[in-house]
Amino acid sequence: MDLQVKPPLYRLLVIVAALLSFAGIPVSPAADEKAPAAAPEAPAFSSKNTFRNICGFCHEDYGRKAGKGPQLMNSERSDQYLFDRIKNGKAGRMAAFGGAFTDDQIREIVKFIRSLRPDQEP
C-alpha cells in the first residue's frame, strides 16, 4: 500500500489548513503562542489630572480663577492650611478628600497649586 500523500491530496490539505486559519482556528502550535497580554499598570498619580477631574468643578481653570470655590493660585495661606483643607474639607462647603488621597498625594496637589501661574497653562 502506498502511504505517500499524493500531490492532489496534499494540495487539498493546504487549502483546508488555509481555510481553518482564515476562520481563526489555529492549525499550527505557533498560532497559539501569543504572549499573554501584559497587565496594565496603574497610571501614576497625576496631581494635574486629579485637580482637573475632581477639583476643577469648583476651583475653575485649575484653581486659577474663583468659581464655586475660591481661587487657589497665589494663595496666601500656608501649605499646611491648604493641606488641611484638602484633607479635612469644610463642612457644608467642600468635601474632605482625606479618604480619597494619601498624604503624599495631597502634598503633590499642594505643590501643583503652588506651581500655578497666571500666564502659564498648568
Q: Which residue has the cell 476651583?
A: 59
Does residue 96 interact with ligand HEC by CB under 6 A? no
3-11, 14-22, 33-41, 83-91 -> range binding ligand HEC (CB under 6 A):
83-91
Integer Cα distance of 43 and 17 in angstroms: 43
Query: What residue type is 39 in one-letter code?
Result: A
Alpha helices, H only, 4-115: 7-22, 29-32, 47-50, 60-63, 79-88, 103-115
Does residue 73 interact with ligand HEC by CB under 6 A? no
Q: Smaller CB distance to ligand HEC: residue 27 or 105?
A: 105
Q: Which residue has the cell 491530496?
A: 9
Does residue 64 interact with ligand HEC by CB under 6 A? no
Residues that bind ligand HEC in the complex, under the rule CB under 6 A: 54-55, 57-59, 68-70, 72, 75, 77, 82, 85-86, 90, 93-94, 97, 109
